[in-house]
Amino acid sequence: MDEHVKDRRYLKSMERHRTDEDVRWAESRAERGQTTTGDYLYGVSLPPSSSSDDENSPSYSSRRVYVDAEDEYFGLWTRFLNHAPRPYDNVRPKSIHESYDGRPRVWFVANRDIVPGDELCFDYGDDYWLDGDDVV
């Protein structure tokens, strides 16, 4: 989803801008007992718009799309990847803004041997945390 859809669906301040599709999305989640916290979103940067080659232009700035793994029927096992700061993480996320079917893809690559029972963790990054969060 793009940033506008993400904001309408997850930010209380944007709730009044929800479309009929957003309402159906929320109802579908509720009917299936799925939450809508926004805690399982992963941002994928898109390349700059080809309409602007000027790096100082506001439209040149990085755009993002978001992969939503919160719905257990679509997010599957990725919902269970936890946070660990570097160098304590054992997987690193990789992403591509457009794969073979035109959609973004996210995958994780082990950065060390992983044995059965290891918790899979990656560094969520500074932009995940809210002011006042106690990050360990």
- Give the rounded percent of residues in the chain with a pLDDT score beyond 90: 46
Other beta carbons less than 10 A from residue 123's beta carbon: 16
32 pLDDT tier (thresholds 50, 70, 90): very high
Asked if the model's pLDDT at residue 110 lies above 90, the reply is yes
Q: What is the mean pLDDT of residues 27-40?
A: 92
Query: Tokens 């570097």 sit at which residue?
Result: 86
Residue 62: its pLDDT value, please? 59
What's the confidence (pLDDT) of residue 92? 94
- Read off the tokens for 76: 């599957």
| Closest to 136 in 3D by CA, of 100, 67, 85, 96 | 85
Handedness of CA 16, 40, 103, 86 (dihedral sign): positive
Predicted local confidence at residue 60, as pLDDT:
42
Indicate the DSSP class of residue 49: P
Q: Token pair of 5, please?
A: 């859809």
Structure letter (DSSP) for residue 39 = T
